[in-house]
Structures are given as structure tokens and as C-alpha cells.
Structure 1
Amino acid sequence: MPQTRRSAQPGATLGGMRITCHQGDITVEEVDAVVNAANSTLMGGGGVDGAIHRAAGPELLEECRRWRAARWHDGLPVGEAVATGAGQLPARWVIHTVGPDRHRGQTDPALLASCFTRSLEVAESVGARSVAFPAISAGVYGWDADEVARVAVAATRASTVEVDEVRFVLFGPEVLAAFEQALQE
């Protein structure tokens, strides 16, 4: 799939953090950390979660199992984030976060914002300087792409973490347009 790279302004930065968006495949991004729109089990699934697990290989699943056994026995809570190695991905880490599911009544934008802020905090804690995000909750979890984009961009801009670059890597043109609009606001 051809990738379209865009930002609010070429080379736009906010407090030293460059924020861009483009259409592409998050599993091939050459960044320090990719964020996985995981389900609470951390065991893989569909969409971005399944694609990341398939591309990373079995070592990712094994590390997720260790996290479940050690700390998240009942699953990773919505809005929380945890880092694992990235297996066979070009990234160094995968940061797993569970987005809110509108179909289950999880409609609070603060829960969605927490996915982005906690992921950035975890990225900083492992030393990641560049992070790629998908449109968390904008797929099967039923959130409108425009709302996800506004929340994601606002949460990223409000973050005080020391990360050099945030890339929103989006699957389709409609979601890309939503993020482009949010970056221009």
C-alpha cells in the first residue's frame, strides 16, 4: 500500500515533539515503539492487534502471556498501557493499550485520551523517542473517526513526555482525513 505522509505543516513540532499522520501499515513503521490497539487479554485478535501479533511472531504472544501471569490476571484495563518487546517488527517495543468499546457503553472520551497519554508515558519510560499510533477504538470498538482524531491529537499535544516524534499511522483515507483535520485545528 502506498504511504502518504502529511503533517499539519511540514516539519511541524509542538514543544519539540513532531506530530504527523499518514496512511500505511503500522507493522512496517521504523520507529522505536508501535502502539497496539489491543484487547484486554493481550493475546491478539483482529484488526491492528492481529496484524501486529502476526508480524511480530510468537515471541510477542509469549511476552504478553508473561504480563498476564505476572500482573494483569484479569486483563489489561481500558486506558492502561504496557510495553513488550517487538519480536520481528522493525520497532524495538510494542506498547499495548486497550481502547474503550462504545458497544459496551464505554463512551467517556477521557478513557480514550488515557490510551494515548499512558502509551506515551510508557514509551518514555522505556526510552522510546519515536512512537507510531493507530486510530485506537475507531474500528470495531465503534468510535467515530473524527472524535478519535480530536481526542488523540489533543492528548498528544497536551502530553509533557520527552518523545521526539509521534506518527499516527492510519489504515484508510477516511481516518486519515479525520486526523489531518484534527492536526490543522
Structure 2
Amino acid sequence: GGRVIEEEAIRVCQVQDPKPGDLYVTGAGSLPFRGVLHLVTMKQPAGATSYDIVRACLERLVAHCRENGIKKVALPALGTGVGRLDKARVARLFREVLAPVEDVEFVVVDIDESFIQMVDSY
């Protein structure tokens, strides 16, 4: 989507000061979408995160989608990169929180194909 998303995210964070578990929205830059939903898994880049924070992010995502009529969302393996959370545990969280949701389609995207397969298999 380009640097414009990052620049807007920095401005939003300076104004809103989101905490881990929060969600905020920016424009989509050059991406062909209406916006980008940012799920805050850590306060600072490469900072501490937890499975509880990932769960809170996913629950907030579901609520935000329902409140705003969003029917389809793509999301990566939250907290598994610099957050170093175990991908299998995060995949189980995705299934626990997102699988029961019937009114929003969640598309898991990640550079690690095995994470996508783990989410699909639980």
C-alpha cells in the first residue's frame, strides 16, 4: 500500500495512543481496499506481546467488523513475527475466536504457508 499507510499510522498513534489489544484504521494507500485495520499486538515495534493480547485483538476485530458492516477481512499471523509467539497456539486462537463468526469472512494471509494450513486444520 505504500509508505502513506505507515505515515498515517504514525500520526494516528501519536493522537490516539493505542494500547495492545486496540484497533485503529488508516487509509489503504495504493491497495485496492477501503482501509487498513491495524491490530495493536505490542506497544513498541518488537516489544512484548502475549496470547491474551492477540485474543483481545481478534475479539476487537470481530466487534469492529460487525459495528461497521465489514464482511471480509484479511489478516496475518498476529504476534508470531517479532512478537515471537508460537504459531500453533496463535492458529488455535484464530480458530477459537474467528471460526464461530458467520457474518464476517476472515482470510488468513501470511508469508508462512504452514500457519495458514494450521488455522485451516484446527
* Separation of aligned partners in 1, 2:88 and 2:21: 19
Distance 2:14 2:34 in 1: 23
**Matched AA of 1:144:** D
1:85 maps to what in 2?
A: 27
Amino acid at match of 1:172: D
- Structure 1: unaligned runs, 5 residues or longer: 1-55
- Report the equivalent of 1:174: 114
Correspondence list, 1:23-38, <5 A:
none
Alignment TM-score, normalising by the size of structure 1? 0.56
CA change 1:138–1:87 in 2 (3 A) is same
Q: 1:152 to 1:61 in 2, by over 3 A?
A: same
**Larger RCO (CA under 8 A, 6+ residues apart):** 1
Indicate the structure with greater strand content. 1
Contact 2:49 2:79 (C-alpha < 8 Å) held by counterparts: no
CA-based RMSD: 2.5
Larger Rg: 1
Contact 1:135 1:145 in 2 (8 A): yes
- Equivalence map 1:122-137=2 (5 Å): 122-137=64-79
- What is the SS of the residue equivalent to 2:99? helix
Alignment CA distance shift 1:159-1:144 (3 Å):
same
| Deviations, residues 39-59 of structure 1 (Å, cap 9, x unaligned) | xxxxxxxxxxxxxxxxx1243
Q: Counterpart amino acid of 1:173?
A: E
What's the secondary structure of 1:78's corresponding residue? coil
TM-score (norm 2): 0.80
Matched, 1:153 2:95: yes
Deviation at 1:82, TM superposition (A): 0.8
Partner of 2:9, secondary structure, is helix
Structure 2: 5+ residue runs without aligned partners? none
Alpha-carbon distance in 1 for matches of 2:24, 2:12? 9
C-alpha change, 1:99 and 1:128, in structure 2 (3 Å) is same
Deviation string, structure 1 residues 31-72 (Cα, Å, up to 9, x no partner) = xxxxxxxxxxxxxxxxxxxxxxxxx12432342233123321
Deviation at 1:159, TM superposition (A): 4.8
